[in-house]
Amino acid sequence: MPDTLTLIDNRTGQEYTVPITDGTIAAIDLRQIKTSPDDFGLMTYDPAFMNTANCRSSITFIDGDRGILRYRGYPIEELAAKKSFLEVAWLILKGELPSAEELQAWTNDVTMHTMVHENIKKFIDGFQHDAHPMGIFLSTVGALSTFYPDAKHVLDAANRRLQIRRLVAKVPTIAAYAYRHHRGLPYVLPDNDLTYPGNFLNLLFKMTEAKYTVNPVLERALDVLFILHADHEQNCSTTTMRGIGSALSDPYSCVAGAAAALYGPLHGGANEAVLRMLAEIGTTANIPGFIERVKQGEGRLMGFGHRIYKSYDPRARILKEMAHQVFAVTGRNPMLDIALELEKIALEDEYFVSRKLYPNVDFYSGLIYQSLKFPVAMFPVLFAIPRTVGWLAQWEEMLLDKDQKIARPRQIYTGVMERHLPEFEKAAAGKPKA
Ligand code: CMC
């Protein structure tokens, strides 16, 4: 059977055959379908890209119906069980897991780039004391482009490698400084003896002690959280990253834009919204009333539902398990009972079942973050740190993809076609109409 699609335009009776490649037709192949020679040609209308592939990618595979997530072919469950975030970051960026030597060099490179220019601290100091840490984070990452003007050479492979190292290394420092500013605490220096998540905990929580002692359970929990959030194919922030990057903007500006997309409550801001929702519910007795209000359309059950997953989000399953390990160290988060009961009721309710609404990654991550003593405003920042790796891998893939050009969707114009200021009406009357 030929891999083609035959279309008949009932306006003209004309038949067209277009190739099918990888389960898609190229939208540009529809342009030949016209009613007259001066017709622009047929386009597709797809708000929110519900059924449009924007790129070819070999980074992350998701099967939303079967609840599968793989980075470069490896199941997320295996990576979360056995690998460190820096190994997974290398895998996502390079396509293969690092050898022992590559991992050592990569760890060393990242560790050596964790410090930020002193002026970055002054820049952060300029924010209001109660500024949202995500606002500080995305502005500061954007500001880095002024510290590294060489980053504009995005078509130079060695330059890209350097900026990627810098970004992966510096985002935890900026995130921690955003938190310290938010709390009115002095900034501390990175500790090169510690792991990537261990150093992040040090940057956040070190007080007057000479050396910060990292709790290994919490360090591993953070590492796993980072692995789970590292990439998620063509989501809103990644699409933003690719879109900005397609104009050949520098990677700091691109990451700032992607972080701005992640800030939204329907995306990375959802974990913050989950905690606020659980606090609002207050006790398990209030759950039925809350569910009823959601079903009436008065708000959403935050941390539930996903554009792609129409079964349990595999990341949520890993986090639900991990929550118990973390709570063994930090003490049980009292909101866990509300979350578990809410999940139980929602998974049995016809409204949620028929719409295939299951817990997503944000449903349990917020509870863990809270037990690790993060204020809710830090939750989207904690998402942005590991996602920087995914954004950068997708950005580089886009730059190297011969099919890609500057992103520029079409529109269906619905406004007034032509009108004139009174002074020009007479002159326009004589001209042919568009
Ligand atoms: N609570 C109640 N109803 C919901 C929810 C929810 N969380 N999510 C979707 N629905 C309903 C929605 O009202 C609609 O019902 P109807 O067909 O009767 O109008 C139906 O389910 C389909 O919803 P949709 O808005 O068309 O679905 P979408 O694919 O556009 O939205 C979503 C996906 C994630 C934005 C949405 O499920 C949502 O708002 N969830 C809550 C926010 C959240 O947890 N976001 C985190 C996403 S995972 C992390 C990330 O990738 O950023």
Please indicate whether residue 266, judged by its CB atom, sits closer than 6 Å to ligand 1: yes
State how far the alpha carbon of 312 is from the alpha carbons of 53, 222, 300, 336, 363, in Å: 23, 22, 18, 18, 11
pLDDT band at 334 (very low <50, low <70, confident <90, very high): confident
Round to whole Å and give the CA distance between 388 and 381. 11
Assess contact for 352 and 339: CB atoms under 8 A: no
Please indicate whether residue 235, judged by its CB atom, sits closer than 6 Å to ligand 1: yes
Q: Which of 136-145, 363-372, 393-402, 407-416 has the lowest mean pLDDT?
A: 363-372
pLDDT of residue 271: 83
Average predicted confidence (pLDDT) for the chain: 95
Count of beta carbons in the 10 Å neighbourhood of residue 293: 12
Angle at which helices 379-400 and 236-245 pack, to 10 degrees? 40
Please indicate whether residue 291, judged by its CB atom, sits closer than 6 Å to ligand 1: no
Following DSSP, what letter does each residue of 78-130 receive, concatenated?
Answer: HHHHH--HHHHHHHHHHSSPPPHHHHHHHHHHHHTT----HHHHHHHHTS-TT
Outline which parts of the chain fall under CATH 1.10.580.10. Answer: 66-409
pLDDT of residue 434: 61
Between the CA of 266 and the centroid of ligand 1 the distance, in Å, is: 8
Would you say the pTM of this structure is higher than 0.85? yes
CATH number assigned to the domain covering 66-409: 1.10.580.10
Helix (H) or strand (E) holding 16: strand 14-19
* 433, pLDDT greater than 70: no
Q: Any idea which residues carry the catalytic annotation? A: 267, 306, 362
* 338, pLDDT greater than 90: yes
Round to whole Å and give the CA distance between 170 and 228. 20
* 272, pLDDT greater than 70: yes
pLDDT of residue 270: 83
Tell me, letter by letter, the H, E, C secondary structure of 144-176: HHHHCHHHHCCCCHHHHHHHHHHHHHHHHHHHH
Q: Which of 82, 109, 106, 83 has its CA nearest to residue 94?
A: 106
